[in-house]
């Protein structure tokens, strides 16, 4: 296989495997936030703000994978 | 067929030796619209506000309340920077929906510049609140052994601030482009509706994280 094919496969693998962890993490955090809001509806504002910030932090992991994939596809030093 | 790389941007013209790229021109246009709009709306402020002034006051006091909620301090000092950041980001993220306009935040240089602004603002407000010695000492909190980690986290969180905004906006545009190329003219409209949500949420998250970082450096909240 030439480096181009390998880097395309690498990009696909980076996004597909790399999004598993953040997806599970985001699901858990949203579920926990739902639970918290159901128990304490008056704290919904604070909870959802913290949730958004936390989701952004978790999501960054998936975005890193996306950036790696883009680097492999568009700025690959080896292909 | 390879689509254009999202990591490079088209050069519109050269000002001397400096190449001026498309996101820069779009940013100038957004800046001009925002400045003109604000100058026009705040030209005649009255104690009994009309509709436009009312909406503007609601926006500004809303942002100020949010800052106060996060930092648990008066938001006056941070309001000019963070309010401008938020309003600019909303306009920039949503400008990608206009025909023939690309969102400037979808190219790497605009998020990089904004993240650098936040990076320096963190130190500025930190030094202003605690003094140079106090601010430098805060890096060795809670233990001296945390010093390298704290310094590294200064850099990495700026980097992740940049990559998060860039990745979200760019991936949305990329997806719309791909679906348009594969499926046809009106198919990506639901994706564009999703882009509106993503753009607003990312503008909010960028501003909230900037508030959290600056608030943490100013010593009013726990280190993030």
Q: Which of residues 55-74 of A touch B (CB under 8 A)?
A: 56, 59-60, 63-64, 66-67, 70-71, 74
pLDDT tens digits, B150-190:
889 889 889 889 988 998 888 888 888 888 888 888 888 88
Give the contacts of A69 (CB within 8 A, at least 6 positions apart).
Answer: A10, A11, A12, A14, A15
Whether B164 sits inside 8 A of A63 (CB atoms) is yes
Q: What is the count of residue pairs from A and B with beta carbons less than 8 Å apart?
A: 43
Task: Count CB atoms within 10 A of the CB of residue B220.
Answer: 14
CB contact (8 A) between residue A71 and residue B7: yes
DSSP calls for B15-71: ETTEEEEHHHHHHHHHHHHHHHHHHHHTSS--SS--HHHHHHHHHHHHHHHHHHHHH
Instruction: Please state, in angstroms and as integers, the Cα–Cα distance from residue A7 to each residue in A17, A56, A64, A72, following that order.
Output: 15, 28, 16, 6
CA–CA separation, A69 vs A76, rounded Å?
Answer: 10
Q: Which residues of B141-172 are buried (b: 16+ CB within 10 A; e: fewer)?
A: eeeeeeeeeeeeebeebbebbbbbbbbbbbbb
Q: Identify the residue whose tokens are 């009312």.
A: B54
Quote the strand ranges of B75-125, DSSP E: none
Residue numbers in A near B162 (CB within 8 A): none
Residue range B44-94, pLDDT digits in tens: 778 887 888 888 889 999 999 888 888 887 778 889 999 999 999 999 999
- Mean pLDDT over the full length of chain B: 85
Distance (Å, whole) CA A54 – CA B136? 27
* Nearest Cβ partner for B167 among A46, A49, A63: A63
Across the range B108-130, mean pLDDT stands at: 91
Nearest-CA neighbor of B214 among B132, B105, B135? B135
Q: Which residues contact B189 (CB under 8 A, 6 or more apart)?
A: none
Predicted confidence (pLDDT) at residue B223 exceeds the cutoff of 50: no
Q: Which two tokens stand for residue B113?
A: 């510049």
Q: What is the distance in angstroms between the Cα of B93 and the nearest Cα belonging to chain A? A: 16
CA dist., res. B174 & res. B117, Å (int): 27
pLDDT of A6-55, one tens digit each?
888 999 999 999 999 999 999 999 999 999 999 999 988 888 888 888 88
- Residue indicated by tokens 């128990």: A39
Q: Is the pLDDT of residue B2 over 70?
A: no
Q: Is B73 on the interface with A (CB under 8 A)?
A: no
Task: Please answer yes or no on whether B167 and A67 come within 8 Å at the CB atom.
Answer: yes
Q: What is the pTM of this model?
A: 0.85
Report the alpha-carbon distance of residue B204 to residue A51 in Å, rounded. Answer: 12
Which tens digits make up the pLDDT trace of B11-42?
A: 777 777 888 888 888 899 999 999 998 888 88
With beta carbons less than 8 A apart as the criterion, state whether B138 and B147 touch.
no
For B:150-179, CB contacts with A below 8 A are 160, 163-164, 166-168, 171
Q: What pLDDT sits at residue B4?
A: 65
- Given pLDDT bands bounded at 50, 70 and 90, which one contains residue A79? low
Cβ–Cβ below 8 Å for A52 and B208: yes
In A, residues 17-46, which contact B (CB 8 Å cutoff)? 45-46
Interface confidence, given as ipTM, is 0.77
């Amino acid at each position: 296989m030439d480096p181009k094919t390998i880097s395309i496969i690498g990009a696909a693998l980076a996004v597909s495997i790399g999004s598993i962890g953040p997806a599970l993490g985001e699901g858990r955090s949203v579920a926990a936030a739902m639970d918290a809001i159901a128990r304490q509806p008056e704290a919904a504002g604070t909870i959802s703000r913290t949730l958004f910030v936390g989701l952004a932090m978790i999501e960054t992991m998936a975005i890193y994978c996306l950036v790696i994939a883009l680097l492999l596809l568009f700025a690959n030093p080896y292909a | 067929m390879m689509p254009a790389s999202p990591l490079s941007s088209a050069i519109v013209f050269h000002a001397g030796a400096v190449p001026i790229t498309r996101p820069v021109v779009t940013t100038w246009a957004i800046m001009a619209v925002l400045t003109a709009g604000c100058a026009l709306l705040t030209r005649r402020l009255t104690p009994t506000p009309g509709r436009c002034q009312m909406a503007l006051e609601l926006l500004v006091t809303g942002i100020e309340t949010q800052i106060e909620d996060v930092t648990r301090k008066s938001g006056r000092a941070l309001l000019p920077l963070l309010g401008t950041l938020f309003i600019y980001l909303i306009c920039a993220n949503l400008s990608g929906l206009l025909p023939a306009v690309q969102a400037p935040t979808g190219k790497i240089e605009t998020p990089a510049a904004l993240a650098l602004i936040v990076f320096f603002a963190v130190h500025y407000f930190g030094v202003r609140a605690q003094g140079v010695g106090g601010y430098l000492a805060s890096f060795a909190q809670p233990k001296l052994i945390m010093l390298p980690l704290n310094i590294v986290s200064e850099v990495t969180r700026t980097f992740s601030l940049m990559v998060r905004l860039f990745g979200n906006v760019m991936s949305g545009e990329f997806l719309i482009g791909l679906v348009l190329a594969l499926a046809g003219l009106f198919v990506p409209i639901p994706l564009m509706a999703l882009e509106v949500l993503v753009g607003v949420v990312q503008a909010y998250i960028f501003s909230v994280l900037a508030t959290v970082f600056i608030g943490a450096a100013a010593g009013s909240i726990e280190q993030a």
